[in-house]
Amino acid sequence: MALLYTAAPARGAAWAAMFAEAMPELDVRLAPDIGDPADIRYLAAWTLPPGLIETLPNLDVLFSIGAGVDQLDLSLVPRQVTVVRLVEPNLAAAMAEYVAMTVLALHRDLYAYAEQQRAGVWQPLPQVPAGERRVGIAGLGQMGSAALDALKPFGFALSGWSRSPRTLPGVTCFHGDDGLRDFAAQTDILVNLLPLTPATRGILGRALFERMPPGAAIVSAGRGGHLDAAALVEALDAGRLSRAILDVTPVEPLPAGDPLWHHPRVVVTPHVAAATDNAGSGKAVLANIRRHRAGAAMQGVVARDRGY
């Protein structure tokens, strides 16, 4: 019984050492050292090397080493292979920190004050009580739920949107296409933590921005494919939106000449909102392998019809 790891070598080496101690009966192989393909029951990958999966006749589980699976071409994965995304507490905690940081910075006008500082302007701005600031999270999975929990102590008026109905204490929940319109219309700061699927690609676009209150802001920490960058620049230039904080962009790294680098109302961070660490991710995959071997349900199993 073997696990084949095909991604970053440093993480693979860390996993091999961890797995050897915690589950010595599992043979961990680091690509390109595949050995006998018939031994491989588990594959851990970020993307699928061309032609690899067809050579693994006894593969049971494909583990994505990230929180999403949009980078994987699931059409190449045999139907009998279970696809599992990474569910790791440290990821959710880090994302909650990023969301709290950016929402508070927007709420208390930190970026506007930074602009004033550069211009040598000493001018207090009106303060909005937290209870009157409407903060909405798009995407109510593990990341979204953790972000909402982090925001609750500040007293914001919280809402959330998801494709299917959800109920969360202290959160006004919306769902579906009609719910998205209503959600956008009552959101002053919109945080995107959605998975990237064909249904959500380009969701941060003109139609959504035009539904939001004038002067609203967005934080995008889901996937770059959610954003229509041209529509964002248009909305910012027109004053429809006041500011955007982007941890993910349509092309990564963001090209040197891209307008988003230099737009005065855009803040860019280099896809760092929630970084996967070697120990936490390894423990999560080990726990799922143990569940699989025991015939129990694994965490993060992907529903292929939904794409997450």
Using alpha carbons, list the distances in angstroms from residue 175 to 125, 202, 227, 303: 35, 17, 20, 18
Instruction: Specify the pLDDT at position 179.
Output: 97
What does the alpha-carbon distance between residue 251 and residue 255 come to, in Å, rounded to a whole number? 7
Question: In sequence order, what are the beta bridge partners of 301?
Answer: 84
Mean pLDDT along residues 29-51:
95
Instruction: Specify the pLDDT at position 89.
Output: 87
CATH number, span 2-88+276-293:
3.40.50.720
Cα 11 to the chain's mean position, in Å? 20
Instruction: Specify the pLDDT at position 267.
Output: 98
Residue 137 has pLDDT above 90, yes or no: yes
Residue 305 has pLDDT above 90, yes or no: no
Residue 36 has pLDDT above 90, yes or no: yes
Paired tokens of 75:
């059409």
Domain ranges of the chain: 2-88+276-293, 89-268
Q: Other CB atoms closer than 10 Å to residue 200's CB: what's the count?
A: 21
Residue 158 has pLDDT above 90, yes or no: yes
161-209: pLDDT as tens digits: 999 999 999 999 999 999 999 999 999 999 999 999 999 999 999 999 9
37-59 burial: b if 16+ Cβ within 10 Å, else e: beebbbbbbeebeeebbeebeeb
Paired tokens of 241:
């939106």
Q: Say if strands 61-64 and 134-138 run parallel, antiparallel, or are unpaired.
A: unpaired
Instruction: Specify the pLDDT at position 225.
Output: 97
- Gyration radius from the chain CA atoms: 21
Instruction: Specify the pLDDT at position 307.
Output: 82
User: Is 6:44 a contact under the CB 8 Å cutoff?
Assistant: yes
Whether 89-268 and 2-88+276-293 are alike in CATH topology: the answer is: yes
Please state the CATH superfamily assignment of the domain spanning residues 89-268 in this structure: NAD(P)-binding Rossmann-like Domain (3.40.50.720)
Instruction: Specify the pLDDT at position 120.
Output: 98
Percent of the chain with pLDDT over 90: 94
Instruction: Specify the pLDDT at position 148.
Output: 98
* Mean pLDDT score across all residues of the chain: 96
Question: Is the pTM of the predicted complex or chain greater than 0.85?
Answer: yes
User: Is 232:209 a contact under the CB 8 Å cutoff?
Assistant: yes
pLDDT level of residue 25 (50, 70, 90 thresholds): very high
Paired tokens of 266:
């855009």
Sheet architecture: strand order including 157-162: 172-175, 157-162, 134-138, 189-192, 216-220, 241-246, 266-268
Write out the catalytic residue numbers: 223, 271
Using alpha carbons, list the distances in angstroms from residue 141 to 53, 60, 97, 104, 163: 29, 25, 16, 22, 11
pLDDT level of residue 38 (50, 70, 90 thresholds): very high
